[in-house]
Structure 1
Amino acid sequence: MSIRFAVLGIDHRHAFGMTEHLTAAGATCAGWWTDGAPNTEEGFRKRFPDLPRIADRETILSDPEIALVVIAAIPRDRAALAIEAMRAGKDVMVDKPGCTTLEQLAALRRVQAETGRIWSIDFSERFEVPSVTLATKLVEEGAIGRVVQTVGLGPHRLNRATRPAWFFEREAYGGILTDIASHQIDQFLHFTGSATAEIVHAAAENCAHPGDPGLQDFGEIALRSDRGRGYIRVDWFTPDALPTWGDGRLTILGTEGYIELRKYVDVGGRVGTDTLILVNGTRCEAIDARDAGLPYFARILADVRDRTETAMPQAHAFTVMELALKAQALAEGRA
C-alpha cells in the first residue's frame, strides 16, 4: 500500500523536489497547505496541477491515512509545524534548516523522544545529488582509504528580485551558517563517519549588501572531530554568467586518494551535472554519476513503514543542526 504524505508550507522551492522525489519513490501526495500566498505558489501549482490545496492544516494533521508530513515553510516556522505534526502522530521530512534556534532544537528533541516519530531533514545537497550517492559507495568500498578531510563549497545566486521579504530577515532564515552550511556539516559527518564535531572557527558577514542589513552573504566554518577535519565556505556571490544557481563542490580527501564532486556544473568543459573525479593509486578519471540514484526517498518511506533509521539516523539530524546553530552563534559572538 502506498504511503500517503502531505505538504505543510511551500515557502521554499525545495518543496518541489521533496514532493517530486517522494512521489517517484512510490508515495502518494494527499495535498498541500501553506500560509498566505508565497511567491512559490504559482510554480508549485504548475508543477503539481492535480494536487489540492487544503485550506486548514488541521485537516491534514487529523487525517489518519496521512503518515508523513513534508515541511518547507519559512525556516523560523518549521520547528513549530514539525512539533505539531509529530504530536498528531505524523512522521516528518523537513527542508533544511530543520530549525533556527537552539531552543527550537531542544523542543524538537523532546517531542521526538516523547512521540517516537521520525524527524528527518532532506539535505538536498546530499540526498538530491546522484554524484554524492556514488561517492558514498566509493568511500564505503575503500576507494580512497580512510577519509581525513572534507572541503564543502556552497555558493548560491542571490536572485534578489525574486526573493521574498523573509529571505532578508536574519531571524526568519536563521543565518547563513544555520541555513546553507547545514548541508556541508551533514556531508562532513557523513563522509568522515563522525558522530559529532568541534567548531574550531566560524564567521558570517554581510560583505556586499549594505542595503540589506539582515542578509549574511558570506560564511565559513572549520570543523574537527576524532575522525577528521573539515572546511566549509558558503556565499551568495554566484555570478550571472554561470548557467546554474551555484557551482557547488565537495572534495573528500582520503589516505589513499581523493574524490571531487562537481555537483551542478563543470566549468572545466564536461556537459551536465554530477561529475565525480576519482584519483587514487590506480585510477585517475572523471565519471558521469548522473545515474547513481537517490536512495534517501525510498529509504525514508521504508522507515515510515518499518520504524527503522535507514535514510538518516535520528541522532545525525539533531547533531547537524546543533553544530550549525553553534557555529552561527560563534560567528555572531554569542558563544
Structure 2
Amino acid sequence: MTSPLTLGVIGVDHRHIYGQLANMQALGCTCKGWWTEGDPQPAAGFVERFPDVPRVDDRRRLLDDPDIDMILLADIPVRRAERAIEAMRAGKDVMTDKPGCTTLDQLQAIRDCAGETGRIWSIDFSERFEVPAVSHAAKLVADGLIGQVVQTVGLGPHRLNRHMRPGWFFDEAAYGGILTDIASHQIDQFLFFTGSTDAEIVASSVGNFANPGDPGLQDYGEILLRSNEGQGYIRVDWYTPDGLPTWGDGRLTILGTEGYIELRKYVDVAGREGTDHVFLVNGERHEYTQASDAPLPYFANLMNDVRDRTESAMAQAHCFKVMELALRAQAQAIRLGALQ
C-alpha cells in the first residue's frame, strides 16, 4: 500500500464533503486546509467534524501548495467544473462531489484539461462508493451467483428538507437538473453492474408535481437506458415523507439470467434495523445479508491511483461517460407538471 495523501478542500456547499474527507482521513490522509466561498450551511458541520483542519482565506494557498496531492470539491454544482479545471492546472488530482459538472460544454472542458494535464478527475458516486451493500452485491455478481446481468432498476428518493436548502438548490442552472444531479448515481451503477461502456437514453422526463411555487425545482425524474450489455430504469425524486427515519429509501435491483439481487441501502421499512440490506435469490437459495461490514475500496484505490497513476478506483472513461449520459438525459427530458 502506498503512503497516504495530503489533501485540500475547496467548496463545502454540500454535505457530501463530510464523507469525502472522512473516508480519506480514515486511510491516514491529512488535510492542510479548506476554503469555501461565503458561509454555506454545511460549513458549521464541517468545522464540527474536522476541527483540526484550518480554514484558509484564499484557495490559491491550497492550489499553490506543493505538498498537496489532491483537492476534494463540493462547491455549488455549476462551479465544480471551473474549480476542478483550476485544480488540475495547478497540478492536483481531483475528487469531486456529484454532479461533477452541469453542462456538456463544461464536461468537454474537463475532458480536455484532464487529457492535457494527465490529472485524475474522479467523482465520488457516494451511493456506490460509500455504501457497503453495493460492494457486497458486486462480489455476488462477480461470483456469478445471478448469471449474466440483464437489467438494473435504481431508485433514488430523497427528502426535500426545504428549511435546510440554499437558494441554488431551487435554481436549475445552478444544480443542473434532477437527472444531472441525483440520477448520475444510478447511471454509474447501471454501467458498472451491466459492464457497459456506453448506453442509449431511450427516454427521459423531469417534472415538478409537488412544488409549483418553485419553478426552478425538479422534484421528479426518470430515465430508460439501453446498452449492448443490458437495460436500465431509473427513478429519482424529492418526495421522501417525514415519517421515514432517514433521508431516502434508496434501492437497487439487479436482474440476472439466473437470479436477482435487491439492495435496500439505507432502511428496510418496517423490517430489519440498520442499513445495507441485501437480498439474493437464485436457483439454489434465497437469503438475506446485513452487509454493513463490506469494504469500501474506492478511497484506498483512488489514493493508490494518485500515487501510481493507475485507474483502479474507477476508469476515467467511465467517470466521463456517467456525466455525459446524465447530461444528455437531462437535455432531452420531457418536462411535466409545473415545468410544462
Q: TM-score, normalised by structure 1?
A: 0.98
Distance 1:237 1:124 in 2: 20
Structure 1 match to 2:249: 247
Structure 1 match to 2:147: 145
**Deviation of 1:283 (Å):** 1.7
The 8 Å contact of residues 4 and 27 in structure 2, kept in 1 or not, is answered as: no
Structure 2 match to 1:30: 32
Structure 1 spans left out of the alignment, 5+ residues = none
Q: Deviations over 1:36-78 (max 9, x none)?
A: 1101111111111111001110000001110000000000000
Structure 2 match to 1:214: 216
1:100 to 90, 99, 102: 102
Q: Which SS does the other structure have where 2:280 is aligned? A: strand
Structure 2 match to 1:51: 53
Structure 1 match to 2:338: none
**Deviation of 1:332 (Å):** 5.0
Alpha carbons of structure 1 residues 253 and 193: separation in structure 2 relative to 1, 3 Å: same
Q: Deviations over 1:114-156 (max 9, x none)?
A: 0000000000000000000011111111010000000000000
Q: Which SS does the other structure have where 1:99 is aligned? A: coil
Quick check: 1:172 aligned with 2:196?
no
Map residues 75-114 of structure 1 onto 2, 5 A cutoff: 75-114=77-116
Quick check: 1:307 aligned with 2:309?
yes
**Deviation of 1:268 (Å):** 4.3
**Deviation of 1:2 (Å):** 2.6
Q: Deviations over 1:188-210 (max 9, x none)?
A: 00000000100000000111101
2:22 to 20, 23, 26: 20
Distance 1:30 1:282 in 2: 52
Distance 2:108 2:291 in 1: 38
The 8 Å contact of residues 299 and 313 in structure 2, kept in 1 or not, is answered as: yes
Structure 2 spans left out of the alignment, 5+ residues = 336-340
CA-atom RMSD in angstroms: 0.8
Distance 1:153 1:66 in 2: 37
**1:32 partner amino acid:** W
Structure 2 match to 1:265: 267
Structure 2 match to 1:6: 8
Q: TM-score, normalised by structure 2?
A: 0.97
Structure 2 match to 1:134: 136
Distance 2:283 2:24 in 1: 39
Taking only the aligned residue pairs, the percentage that are identical comes to 68
Distance 1:193 1:307 in 2: 23
**2:280 partner amino acid:** L
**Deviation of 1:23 (Å):** 0.5
**Deviation of 1:111 (Å):** 0.4
Distance 2:182 2:91 in 1: 29
Quick check: 1:284 aligned with 2:247?
no
Distance 2:52 2:118 in 1: 32
Distance 2:29 2:280 in 1: 35
**2:176 partner amino acid:** G
**Deviation of 1:312 (Å):** 0.4
Q: Which SS does the other structure have where 1:233 is aligned? A: strand
Count of matched residue positions in the alignment of Structure 1 and Structure 2: 333
The 8 Å contact of residues 4 and 303 in structure 2, kept in 1 or not, is answered as: no
Distance 1:297 1:32 in 2: 19
Distance 2:42 2:306 in 1: 28
Distance 1:159 1:151 in 2: 25
Q: Deviations over 1:146-186 (max 9, x none)?
A: 00000000000000011011100000000000000000000
Runs ≥4 in structure 1, deviation > 4 angstroms? none
Structure 1 match to 2:207: 205
**1:158 partner amino acid:** L
**2:305 partner amino acid:** D
Quick check: 1:161 aligned with 2:163?
yes
